[in-house]
């Protein structure tokens, strides 16, 4: 049997959990987050993405939203990657149990719970190696409130892997000590299941840690241990296969967005192309220094890590190997080629240093061992090391005060004080200047102040969303969408609105929409919609400024427009909703029918909306100019047997005048150049009065480089990619004025795709009527489409549902095709009924591997723990 010291360690487990939880709540209360104030813990992605997914989780588990497939996922999409990236944490069950309006408060407590759980698992690791020593609390609390967890409070789905990392490493230690693999297999497989992205990073570190354990001391039965480690890692992958395999297929189909991992040969060659990675801005100390807040681990733990390399009682061989691994981990934050490995061969988007929790945990391991061997560090070395550490931290920080907003005189002073007190306390313990219980009490107090202060000052610099911004806005929008649903005549349809809380409103309010913001959003969906005139970028697509013809094509039946005539305009709720208007004025509303209203929204219905499935008579030309109006024309031209008149045709401006701009002979794709580079410049255009609907198209460069106004009303811009299409005023008596003003500092602007288009209403109405008449009978559900075609049909059907490989059809006579990003069907020309069903790619293979893995794991557990098979365990070597 393994002879542990009889000192109980479980009280320290409770202390580390409770103390971390208390510090977290005190910090949140000091920041006045609900329920302790009017602010909230929501910020950035947690405010506009994650909280919507948690609401979707409530809908899905209640059976009111699609689980495997959802039409809230933009125009429709498989949901498996969303589940495995955002929603598989067991902590998320708390969100299911509370009301939607209480979600911000629930997220605060879940965040504190995850901080505390990370401290508790770290305490398990520390207690296993050091028993009930005082410095185990330094290890655990420093980990639970580390810079990574504090800085990534909003990326709440990453924290489960951080919680499990100490258990994975402890499992490797147990493998070396007892030759048992299940203590390693279970936490590693859970890290893959709860968040495959963070699990991938943990798997890399597991290999490095195993190598370190092998290298620091002589190992008996080495080949056996390598075999057990490799087998345990493989078994972990098998247990998590039901998550990993379908997720890989989903990410591969979406061309692997920022959350995924690209394991392709092309990605590997890109990684090996090292010279191209060492470019200005990629290989410098700024990248390292910018990540230092994420690496914060407390002054006591930091000095402990320094002491590790100075302790005479630690073998030189071990210190050299540890130094090499430390250097490698530090460089992995500094050098882009190494960063790419940790990120799954994919450059991170926005949030950098995502694997810094690995570096923190490693340094804390060194700190734990260093504090354990503190008596072997001479007082002279300890003093000089403290001075050197202060210099290495303070001097670069002072030099960067002007360029790094998080570096303030107060933070610098507090850091210096904490470092000085930590050095004095460690020096006193080393020299036994005072009773140890006094010194340990001082260290615990310093630890609480140090980690709490860092958390407070770090979070104080962030702009948090007021609690009412979520609760009030959500209540109003939910009422608006509920009213719209009541006014619908049934059947499948999509909805749109000119005001939204976030791009993930379809998840929040459980309706079929257009917009989505997700790190695993299918790239094909983004490209299809942006080509048609939506605005989007990596991981997102937006629903603002869509044309009436485009909404008709996409099946947008209902439209919610903020009610400017409401008697509630002076209320906070109305102002919240009005402040979130995303679209420019909809001058084409005369085409819609007002069917209802409430205090905040007018509800319109589109009489010309097309069904999801329509007959098509010809394919869209392969080469279509990158212009959203021309794209829309091409789709509509396929809907009738004969090519009718073009839906949208170019119109000339009736007048043009320039101010400090060289004369222009044409506008579309022309280059506008200043005459005098120092002065302002603008172009003024006029449009003759008309009763026909017109749209102004401007390319992405124009939106970024010009301020544009229509009749002196500024056109709202958008930072994401894609051309913008805005409706023009309909006025039969007064001309419309368009003003294009150069942005400051720009001397030349490409007027890419800039043009005025007029809708041929007669041709449009005829096309809509024909398409509706010839459309197949259809029943649309999440992940299931049943169609009945007419006799003597064209033989081809298009569905405005994004094409994915998971769709299957139950008829051999029907062929699935990718029709420029949408589902296309080649069908018999005779009347027929068939069903398309969505099956998550890879789910069957994943389940079979997981089932086999579970059976193997049960067998291994019985073998390792059955009394007759227990092997004599060697005594654990203490730190």
- The answer to whether 864 touches 180, Cβ cutoff 8 Å, is yes
Taking the C-alpha atoms of residue 695 and residue 385, their distance in angstroms, rounded to an integer, is 69
The secondary structure of residue 223, as a DSSP letter, is H
Peptide bond before 35: cis, by omega within 30 degrees of 0? yes
Task: Specify burial of residue 875 (Cβ count, 10 A radius: 0-12, 13-18, 19+).
Answer: exposed
**Residue 388 predicted with pLDDT over 70:** yes
Cite the DSSP H helix spans in 672-829.
700-705, 761-774
pLDDT one-digit tens code per residue, 267-289: 333 333 333 333 233 333 444 44
Res. 1: pLDDT tops 70: no
Region of poorest pLDDT, from 288-297, 649-658, 731-740, 760-769: 288-297
- pLDDT reported for residue 701: 84
Residue 867: pLDDT band with limits 50, 70, 90: confident
Tell me: pLDDT of 810 over 70.
Answer: yes
pLDDT band at 294 (very low <50, low <70, confident <90, very high): confident
What are the beta bridge partners of residue 674? 661
Token pair for residue 422?
A: 């930590």
Exposed (0-12), middle (13-18) or buried (19+): which is 66, by Cβ within 10 Å? buried
Q: How far apart are CA 473 and CA 104, in angstroms?
A: 13
Please give the full DSSP string across 556-574, using - where no structure is assigned: EEEEEEE-TT-TTTTSHHH
- Note the pLDDT tens digit of each residue in 835-844: 999 999 999 9
The answer to whether residues 473 and 576 touch, using CB atoms and an 8 Å cutoff, is yes
Nearest residue to 472 (alpha-carbon basis) of 583, 565, 575, 598: 575
Torsional class of 321: left (φ above 0), alpha (ψ -120 to 50), beta (otherwise):
alpha
Report how far apart, in Å, the C-alpha atoms of 792 and of each of 172, 223, 559, 776, 857 are: 67, 71, 35, 12, 58
| Paired residues of 70 in beta bridges | 77
Model confidence band, residue 211 (pLDDT cutoffs 50, 70, 90):
very high
User: Average pLDDT of the chain?
Assistant: 87
Sheet of 536-537: strand order equals 516-517, 540-541, 536-537
In terms of pLDDT, which residue wins out, 731 or 649? 649
Spans of all domains in the chain: 14-39+79-258+265-460, 648-759, 764-838
Is the predicted pLDDT of residue 874 greater than 90, yes or no? no
> Using one digit for the tens of pLDDT, what is the confidence trace for 554-564?
999 999 999 99
CATH placement of domain 648-759: 2.60.120
Least confident piece of the model among 187-191, 394-398, 423-427: 394-398
Is the CB of residue 724 less than 8 Å from the CB of residue 660?
Answer: no
Residue 869 pLDDT: 62
Beta pairing, strands 755-759 & 556-562: unpaired
- Residue 350: pLDDT band with limits 50, 70, 90: low
User: How many C-alpha atoms does 224 have within 13 Å on its Cβ side?
Assistant: 9
* Averaged pLDDT, 600-604: 95
pLDDT (0 to 100) of residue 343:
78
- The Cα–Cα gap between 208 and 214 comes to 10
Of residues 276 and 666, which shows the higher confidence score? 666
259 has pLDDT over 50: no
The radius of gyration computed from the CA coordinates of the chain, to the nearest angstrom, equals: 31
User: Which of the two residues, 333 and 707, has the higher pLDDT score?
Assistant: 707
H helices present in 273-378, as ranges:
274-277, 285-290, 299-308, 316-334, 336-342, 356-372
In degrees rounded to 5, what are phi and psi of residue 839? -120, 130
Rounded to 10 degrees, the C-alpha dihedral 357/360/362/368 comes to: -140
Rounded CA-CA distance 66/465 in Å is 29
How many C-beta atoms surround the C-beta of residue 758 within 10 A?
17
Q: Which DSSP category does 660 fall into?
A: S
Phi then psi dihedrals of residue 451, to 5 deg: -70, -35
- pTM across the whole model: 0.90
Position 833 pLDDT exceeds 90: yes
Residue identified by tokens 């549902």 is 801
Edge-first strand listing for the sheet containing 706-710: 655-659, 682-687, 736-742, 706-710, 713-714
- What are the residues facing 780 on neighbouring strands? 785
Q: Provide, rounded to the nearest whole percent, the portion of the chain with pLDDT above 90.
A: 63
For 424-450, give one letter per residue: b (16+ CB within 10 A) or e.
ebbbbbbeeeeeeeebbebbbebbbeb
Which residues lie below 8 Å from residue 536, measured CB to CB, with a gap of 6+? 526, 529, 530, 542, 720, 721, 722
Q: State mean pLDDT over 575-602.
A: 92
Of 724, 338, 703, residue with least CA distance to 545:
724
* pLDDT at residue 371 in the model: 93
Question: Which pLDDT band, with edges at 50, 70 and 90, does 117 fall under?
Answer: very high
At 482-525, the pLDDT tens digits run 999 999 878 899 999 999 999 999 999 999 999 999 988 988 88
**Separation of alpha carbons 554 and 786, rounded Å:** 18
Q: What is the pLDDT of residues 638-659, one digit of tens each?
A: 998 887 678 899 999 999 999 9
* Residues in contact with 207: Cβ distance below 8 Å, sequence separation at least 6, in sequence order: none
Q: What confidence tens digit (pLDDT) does each residue in 118-156 have?
A: 999 999 999 999 988 999 999 999 999 999 999 889 899
Res. 450: pLDDT tops 50: yes
- How far is residue 642's CA from residue 647's CA, in Å, rounded to a whole number? 14
- Nearest Cα neighbor of 365 from 58, 41, 146 is 146
Q: What was the pLDDT predicted at 266?
A: 37
Nearest CA-CA partner of 449 in 403, 418, 480, 484: 418
Q: What is the pLDDT confidence band of residue 395, given thresholds at 50, 70 and 90?
A: confident
Q: Which of 675, 689, 685, 690 is nearest to 708 (CA)?
A: 685
Confidence of residue 757 (pLDDT cuts 50, 70, 90): very high
Q: What is the mean pLDDT of residues 454-469?
A: 89
Counting every residue written for the chain, the total comes to 879
Cβ(710)–Cβ(569) under 8 Å? no
User: CB–CB of 786/835 below 8 Å?
Assistant: yes
Name the helix (H) or strand (E) containing 13: helix 10-30
């Amino acid at each position: 049997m393994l002879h542990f010291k009889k000192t109980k360690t479980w009280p320290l487990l409770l202390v580390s959990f409770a103390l971390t939880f208390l510090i977290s709540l005190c910090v949140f209360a000091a920041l006045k987050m609900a329920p302790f104030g009017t602010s909230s813990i929501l910020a950035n992605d947690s405010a506009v993405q994650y909280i919507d997914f948690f609401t979707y989780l409530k809908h899905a588990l209640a059976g009111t939203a699609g689980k495997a497939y959802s039409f809230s996922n933009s125009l429709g999409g498989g949901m498996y990657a969303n589940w495995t990236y955002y929603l598989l944490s067991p902590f998320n069950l708390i969100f299911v149990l509370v009301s939607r309006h209480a979600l911000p408060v629930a997220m605060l407590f879940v965040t504190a719970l995850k901080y505390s759980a990370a401290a508790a698992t770290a305490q398990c690791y520390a207690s296993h190696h050091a028993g009930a020593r005082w410095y185990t609390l330094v290890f655990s609390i420093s980990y639970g409130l580390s810079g990574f967890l504090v800085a990534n409070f909003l990326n709440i789905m990453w924290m489960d892997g951080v919680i499990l990392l100490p258990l994975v490493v402890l499992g490797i230690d147990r493998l070396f000590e007892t030759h048992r693999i299940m203590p390693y297999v279970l936490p590693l497989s859970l890290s893959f299941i709860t968040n495959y992205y963070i699990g991938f990073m943990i798997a890399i570190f597991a290999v490095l840690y195993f190598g370190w354990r092998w290298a620091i001391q002589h190992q008996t039965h080495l080949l056996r241990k390598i075999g057990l480690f490799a087998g345990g890692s493989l078994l972990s992958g098998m247990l998590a296969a039901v998550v990993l395999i379908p997720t890989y297929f989903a990410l591969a189909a979406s061309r692997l967005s920022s959350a995924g991992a690209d394991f392709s040969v092309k990605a590997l060659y890109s990684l090996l192309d090292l010279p191209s990675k060492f470019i200005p801005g990629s290989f410098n100390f700024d990248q390292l220094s910018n990540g230092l807040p994420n690496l914060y681990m407390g002054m006591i733990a930091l000095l402990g890590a320094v002491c590790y390399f100075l302790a005479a009682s630690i073998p030189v061989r071990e210190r050299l190997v540890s130094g090499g691994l430390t250097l490698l981990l530090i460089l992995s934050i500094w050098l882009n080629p190494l960063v790419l490995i940790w990120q799954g061969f994919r450059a991170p988007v926005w949030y950098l240093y995502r694997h810094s929790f690995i570096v923190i945990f490693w340094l804390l391991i060194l700190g734990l061992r260093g504090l354990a061997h503190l008596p072997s560090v001479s007082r002279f070395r300890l003093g000089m090391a403290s001075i050197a550490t202060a210099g290495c931290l303070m001097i670069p920080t002072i030099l960067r005060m002007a360029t790094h907003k998080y570096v303030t005189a107060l933070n610098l002073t507090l850091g210096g004080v904490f470092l000085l007190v930590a050095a004095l306390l460690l020096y006193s313990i080393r020299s036994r200047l005072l009773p140890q219980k006094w010194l340990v009490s001082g260290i615990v107090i310093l630890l609480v102040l140090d980690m709490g202060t860092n958390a407070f000052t770090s979070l104080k610099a962030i702009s948090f969303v007021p609690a009412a911004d979520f609760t009030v806005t959500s209540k109003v929008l939910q009422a608006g969408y509920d009213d719209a649903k009541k006014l619908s005549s049934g059947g499948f349809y999509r909805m749109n609105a000119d005001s939204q809380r976030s791009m993930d409103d379809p998840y929040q309010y459980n309706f079929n929409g257009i917009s989505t913001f997700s790190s695993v959003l299918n790239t094909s969906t983004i490209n299809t919609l942006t080509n048609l005139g939506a605005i989007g970028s990596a991981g997102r697509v937006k629903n603002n400024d869509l044309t009436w013809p485009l909404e008709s094509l996409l099946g947008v039946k209902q439209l919610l427009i903020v009610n400017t005539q409401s008697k509630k305009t002076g209320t906070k709720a109305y102002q919240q909703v009005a402040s979130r208007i995303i679209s420019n004025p909809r001058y084409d509303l005369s085409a819609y029918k007002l069917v209802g209203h409430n205090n905040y929204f007018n509800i319109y219905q589109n009489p010309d909306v097309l069904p999801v499935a329509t007959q098509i008579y010809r394919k869209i030309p392969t080469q279509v100019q990158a212009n959203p109006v021309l794209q829309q024309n091409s789709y509509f031209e396929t809907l009738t047997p004969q090519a009718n008149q073009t839906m949208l045709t170019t119109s000339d401006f009736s007048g043009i005048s320039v101010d400090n701009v060289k004369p222009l002979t044409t506008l579309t794709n022309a280059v506008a150049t200043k005459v005098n580079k120092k002065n302002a410049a603008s172009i003024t255009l006029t449009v003759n009065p008309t009763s026909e609907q017109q749209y102004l198209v401007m390319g992405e460069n124009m939106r970024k480089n010009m301020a544009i106004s229509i009749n002196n009303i500024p056109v709202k811009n958008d930072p994401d990619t894609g051309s913008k299409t805005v409706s023009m005023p309909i006025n039969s008596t007064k001309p419309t004025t368009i003003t294009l003003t150069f942005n400051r500092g720009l001397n030349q602007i490409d007027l890419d795709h800039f043009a005025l288009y007029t809708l041929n209403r007669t041709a449009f109405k005829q096309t809509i009527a024909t398409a509706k008449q010839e459309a197949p009978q259809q029943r649309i559900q999440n992940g299931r489409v049943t169609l009945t075609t007419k006799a003597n049909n064209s033989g081809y059907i298009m569905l405005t549902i994004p094409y994915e490989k998971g769709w299957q059809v139950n008829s051999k006579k029907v062929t699935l095709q990718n029709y420029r990003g949408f589902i296309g069907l080649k069908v018999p020309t005779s009347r027929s009924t068939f069903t398309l069903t969505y099956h998550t790619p890879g789910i069957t293979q994943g389940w079979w591997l997981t089932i086999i893995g579970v059976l193997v794991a049960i067998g291994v557990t019985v073998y390792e723990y059955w009394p007759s098979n227990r092997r004599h365990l060697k005594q654990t070597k203490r730190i």
